Structures are given as C-alpha cells and as structure tokens.
Chains A and B, each alone.
Chain A
Amino acid sequence: MPEQVLLEIGLALAIVAFAGILAARFRISIVPLLILAGMVVGPHAPVIGILDFRFIKSAPLIDFMGRVGILFLLFSLGLEFSVGRLLKAGRSILVGGSIYMAINFTLGMVLPIIWGWPLRETLVVAGLISISSSAIIAKVLVDLKRTARPETEMILGLMLFQDVFVAVYLSIISGLVLTGSASPPSVLKSTSLALGFMLGLILAGRKLAPLINRLFNVPSDEVFMLMVFAFLTLVAGFSETIHVAEAIGALLVGLILAETDHLDRIEHIVVPFRDFFGALFFFSFGLSIDPLTLGGAVGPVLVAVAATLTGNFLAGIIAGRMAGYSYRGCTNIGLTITPRGEFSIILANLAKTGGLLPVLQPFAALYVLLMAILGPLLTKESKWIYNQLAHLFGWPAWKEINKPDRTI
C-alpha cells in the first residue's frame, strides 16, 4: 500500500534527522551515526504499532535514493576537483601526496593478501583503506578552529591530491568489478573502456564548453536546476549501460561543468541535494547490513584500523617534514587525515553491485564506523598525543601559551 511506503520513508527520514541531532550534540561526524542507525533498523527490527522499523516495503526506494546520493556526492567532488589547482599547490603536495598514497595503498594491499582474499576484493579493500574522507576532514578542521594553522594547507592539499587518485582509481575498479570476469583480457578491455570513456568525456567537455555555457545560460533557476540534474542523470545512467560505474559518470559531469561559467550557480543548488540524498545513502548502506554479520569482520577490521592509523601517522610525519612543517604540524597532519567515510562506502557498494565477497560490506561498515569516530577524536587530542611523542622522541614541547597580559 502506497500510504505505508510514505509513512516508512517519513520514519526513515525521522531517524536520519535524529542521527543528525545526535551528531551535532556530541560533535561527531554524522556518517557513522547514519550507518549505525541503518544497521539497527532493518528486517530484524520490530514493528511498533503503525511504525514499521523493518523498512521492507520502502527498502527499494531508500536504496534508490541512496544511489542518487552517490551521484550527488561524486558530482560535487567533480565540481571541486581541479588539476590546475593541484599543480598550483606545488611540489610539496605532489611529493607528499605520492608518499601518502604509496604508504596507505601498500598497507591496503598487503593486509587482504595476507588474509588470502581474492584479487578484486584486495583491490577494493586497498582503496577503501587508503582513501580518506575529505568531507569529514574539512568539517573537523572547521569545528576545531584549525583552518588558520599552517599545516592545514598541506592537509587540504593532500585531499586535493587524493581526489585525483579517487577519480582514476574508481574508474579502474569499476572496470574490474562490474564486468564480473577476472580474466586479464576482459579486465583490460573494461578498464580501458572506463578510462577511455573518462578521457573522451573530459575532452568533449572542454571542446564543448562554450556550447554548454550557452545552453545552460537560462535565467530561471528552476529550469537551470532541472537541466543540470537531467544532464547528470543521463550521463550517469548511460555510463551504467556500458559497465562504467554511474558514480564515475556523475564525477565526469561535475568535471565538465566545473569548466563552465556556471560553476558557482551549480555549487549553490547542488549542496542541499547532496546533503539530503547523501544522508540517505549512508542510511541505506547501513540498512543493507545485517548486524549479525558484523562478527566475522571484527578481526580484519581491528587490524586494518591499527594499520591505517599507523600508516597515516607515518605518512603525515614524512610528508609534513619534507614540506618543512614542525613536528607539531606534522602530528596534526598525520592524525587529521585518518577519518574514512564516503569513498570507502562507495567502494563497498560497488563491490556489492559487482557481486564480490559479501564480507566486504560489514567490513567497510565497521571500518568506517571506527575510523569516522576515532579519526576526529584523535585529531582533537593531537596536542596530548604530540606531547607524549615529544617525550619519547625528544621533539620540542608544545608549550602552553602565555596569554598576553591585558592589564595596563
């Protein structure tokens, strides 16, 4: 009955909103709470009166809205993404970013290989472990009032570097995972198709930028929005038909539109949609996970969390020192880059679509849950952590600042 579906969606939104309130109250990221909320409800949950917490009838709809959420998340990433900006950020970011990705990606590859997971699963886990959540990190920096600190430039530069990595990696992975075959020729074919599609669209976008500029030059905000979203959904949908992840299609549309004159206007309209559907994406991901399956993932997740924290911290120290930051600044870099979020979940979702080992979803859920909570917490306590390490390694102490004497 349609009325029931509407009520269920309303209930889901109420839960999502409640998670938001809790997140704001306890000053933590909303992402882990949304996943947690999604896991708590679901087919195993009770029905209380008219409130059906099982979400059976509305599950396909919530799932679909979550898919739309991915589109918007990647679309806004594409809008933000800029190779020109990255090059401008300078050599220290390129070097630091390479070190950072190399350390984390190697760790991400080694662990699943030790566990004996197959190749495609290994690659998904490697991506899942090495890609930080730029959304959580930006928020943490703002919340902790660290935007003015010198090393914040480096942290955000690393995120910029990582975005480029995400774009390339996602296209490779989607080629690998979505074709459903592991034979080298077909993998090569699908991966090159994905990369070719990407390059083709980017080139076409550049060539057609003046045309797109004119086409989207409509005074009505309403029509403008409809045109942008139609473009987004069409390209994403088309990507899917040629076995390129729809997320990549969305990313590409973002990249193309970022080159046009309408960037500011688009960024303005996309934010509320990204936040709304993005929240439902995390919720729907949680909903798709049966909490009882989490048990099997606990061991690997704990190892992965420990490895990620160590790897990120080391990478932060090395990259930071090379760029000439103080040990204090480097500690902040190494701790701030630890949260994981949207990309890890997107990869896990991709793995599900491609029919990879089902353990990947609870693994990703638990991993993100821990990292999204631990990361910001460690970032907040960076001063204490630094002082402990300073003791150990003989770094200069983080002295308490003498407040200037205000009395005259």
Chain B
Amino acid sequence: MEKQLRYVGLALSILFGVIVFVFFGYCYPYHLAYQEQFQLFLFTPAYLAETASVPGGPAGYIARFLTQFYYVPWQGAAIIALLLAALQRLLLCLSRAFGDKPALFPLSFIPSLFYWILLCNEHYMLAGVVALIIVLMAARLYVSIGAKALRVILLFPALSLLYWFSGGACLVMALLCIFWEIRKRAYGRWQIAGLTMGCLLLTVSLSLLAKALLVQYPLSKLWTGAGYYRFQTIFPSTLLLLWVMVSILPVLFRYLPIASKAKTAWTGTGIMIAALTLITWQGVSETSDWQKEEVMAYDYHARRQQWGHIIRMAGEKAPSTPLSVALLNLSLCKQGRMADDMFRYFQNGPEGLLPSFVRDFTMPMMAGEVYYHLGFINTAQRFAFEAMEAIPDYQKSARAIKRLAETNLINGEYAVTRKYLQILRHTLYYSKWAVQTLALLEDEGKIDFNPEWHTLRTCRTHTHFLFSEQEKSQMLGILLQQNLTNRMAYEYLMAYCLLTKDLQHFYTYYPLGKEIAYRQIPVSYQEALIYLWGLSNNNPATIPYPVSNEVKRRVQEYGKIYTTCQHSEPMLRPQYADTYWYYLHFRK
C-alpha cells in the first residue's frame, strides 16, 4: 500500500504541476506578463551586487532572474509550476524524515496550494517561493546530518547564511531544526530550550546586525526580508501564516496517527485530497481578479500592437474599465474602425478615450500607449517615466526604459536614447531590439525607414504648448491643425467631442475631416449629425449631409420610442445600444 501511495503522491505532484501550468499559462497568463514589465533584470555585476546586498536579496535576485521569463507567459507558467511542485516535493521529502507516513502526503501540498492562491494576487512576488525552497533545501540537508554535534555547530552559521539568502524565511529553518532535535531526542529538555533560545537570539541579532550595517532600511523590513511583497511597507500576515504552516507540517507527519487498514488509509488520503482541492478551488476563485486579468490582457496586446486581437476580445466580452475601453478605442482607431464602430462597444466617457494621469505604476504605463500612438510623444515619455518611478519596490522597468528609448529617439535625443539602449543590452528579452536600434542611432535615413517612428515623427506636435488634462480637445486640435490628414488626431478629436457630449464643438470640427477623404461619413458622425439636424428640423430626410437611409430610418424609429415612452431606455437598449443617440441619452 505504501508503495502505491508513493506512486499516487508522485503522480499527484506531476498533476499539480500540470494544473498550475495550465492555470497560469492559459487562464491567467496576463498577470505574468504584467509582473515582468515592472522589473529590469540586468546581467551585470552591479545589478547583482545591488539586489543581493540586503537580507533576502539573493532569493530576490533568483526570483527576478526567473520573472524575466514571464515575458513569454507560458514560460512563466512553467516556472511557477516547477517551483510550486518543487516546494511540495521538498516539503514531502523533509516530512518523511520526520515520519514516513505516505498516507499523509496530501498535507505536503498545503504550502504550494496556498502559494498558488497568493500568486493570483499580482503583488505577491516570486521571491517568497524561492526563499522557502532555499530554506527547505537547507533544512533537508540539516536533517540528513547524523552527528548531532555537527548539526548544532552548523546550525548557527547556516541560519546566518540563510538570513542573507532568504530573509525572514530563515525563521522556518530555525523552527524546523528545533522540531527535528525534539523529534530525534538527541538532546535533553534544557539543551533543547537552550538551542531554541540560541536560535531566537541569533535571528534577532541578525536583524539588528543588518540594521547596523544597512541603516537606511527600517528594522521591520530587515526582520522580514526584502522582495516578498511589492509594497515595501506591508508584510502580509498570510506569509507569516504560510511560514508557520511549513514549519509545522513535517511535525504532523511524526505525530498524526494513520489508519492501519489499507482501505481506511486510502479513504483518509482521498478525503484530504478532496478537501484540499475544494479549498484551493475556492481560494483561487476568490483571489483571482478576472477584471484585472482582462485589463492586463488588453494592455498585453496593445503593447504588442495586436489591434485585431483586442477587437476580437471586445467582441466576445465588452470591456468595462476606462483603461480597457481606451485600449479598445485605440485598437479601433488603428484599424480604421473607430469612427464607424466605437459605439458598438460600451463607452464610458472621455476617460475611456484619453485616460487622465494617476500617480500609480500601472495606469500610466498602460495609458501611455494611447498617447504614444497619437503622437503625444512627450506625454507618452512622461507616463512611462512616472510609471517606472512609482513602482513600489523601487525596481526599474524594462518596458518603461524601452518606451523612454523610443520616445527619445523620436524626439531626436540620441545621447539619452543611447544610454537607455545600452542598459537594455544587458537584458534578455530587450537586448536584440536594443542592439538593432543602437545601429540606427543618428542615422536619420534609417530611422525614418521605420514606419512607426516615421509616422510618429510626422504627426507629433511641432507647436509649443503645455499638456493639460482639462484641454485635451485643444491639444488634439493642435495635432490636427498642423496636419489635416492626421486621421488619428481627427477621429480622436471627434470622439472626444462625442464622448463629452459636446455636439457644438463636434459640429464645428466636423468639416476639418474633409482632408481625410472618407468614402462615406462614418456611422457615429452620421448619427451625431442627424441628431443635430433633428434638433432644428422635423424631417431628417432633408439633412444636407450624405447620411445613409439606414441611419435615417433608425433615427426616426429611435426618436419615436424616445419621445413617446416615459421609460424608453429598456425598450431602446436591445436595438439601439450601439448608436450614439443611446450613448447621448443614457450613458453617464
């Protein structure tokens, strides 16, 4: 039976790894891509020295090294799966040393399952998992030492080393070692008490020593170590709970009774597996933020300029947050469909077109894409810089550095572009682009040969003005005025007027579009024009613009319902939610 249980245990470890891989790789991949962009892992000795010089730094360094592979989400999923499976196997291995009870193997999954749940929150960093794995490896090594004196002699330097490698997680090692000595009964009660005191004193002293050496960090941070959670002032109690769990679980293998009958043992194991599966299911469901995943998905595809993909996503499920709507509108515009189709999708006002700046690390990074593609190069640059500086754990961002290089290159600031490119040369995923771009620097011909940079250089503003959150339409107007064929600027200007329900300015700016040479007036403009015409004329058919018969028919039907029914919104929604009139009347 024991052999069978071991095989089942191994099979479940593999199955667990596969499930985690599938979850992060295919259900939750955009959280991984999101993680990758908020770090700048450099293959330089200076970066290693800077990262590894604090308690927990080496674990953080390894975690950051691994996190860079999240650039390709399935790689990130594979890394998480391997790490969580390794954590489980290590704990099982250690637990077996405490008490070889194969029927209890499901308990060894608890920390890995718990960490799976935690990692659904994008602010939990991989460093926590790496730190625990290092600690468990050290503990396994410790219990494998037969000579009791050697164990204790090695314990204190090992704890010191572990404190540097894994930060506060070394507490787990201390507890496991004490439990091991109790389990082995190699020492008497007073000796165990002395060992416990020694471990506690050492842990406290290490933090105090670290504070003396690293005076610029608060003691609380040196207690816990760096890099487990993105926000530096917070140490989640869930991590402390996890550490306690990892320390106690091996002991349970020693003291928990198991059924002697095979059938009962199998039943017990089965119940444990079922319970853990249910709890994990519940935990993952509750901590997974699918709305964030959706926004991150929009951002992921916008970053890679996969406009069609974004539109398809919106077709399957309408976006609702301002950021995702803004990225959808950008995609529609890039595909030449915004003026016709934007009201086919949910619109939530001007914030869903040109989001305002927020002092945050996420929003400016994503919203910067809109400003970049519109030709507001300085604003895109500012948003990238601000997003990078707002990263709570003081890391830099490879994505932001790349955007800074691009915007400075477009602005002709080659010296600072070179600086950013030289930095990106030391990365894994941005190095190739950096090397290729370095070769183009200061060669205007080659730079202009790049269609994206050429377009942005052409359409960017050449007029001096200050960015103003309150005067976005004027800013779009300036962009358009210097190049009346700038279709994006025109459509954003018109969309801004429509979304702010400023039909007066819409009407004023509308004629500027004659240079764009539309084959026919875009549908949303037809709808706005016929609405305006209807305000002063009873017969829409007399409108002096080439509005389609379909639009004329629909406005008449819409108008009939809107004017005759007191609560017309539910009646209009099924057929007219895709019209500008519906947005005008019913969207706040």
Q: Decide whether A and B are members of one complex.
A: no
Question: Residues of B with Cβ closer than 8 Å to A?
Answer: none
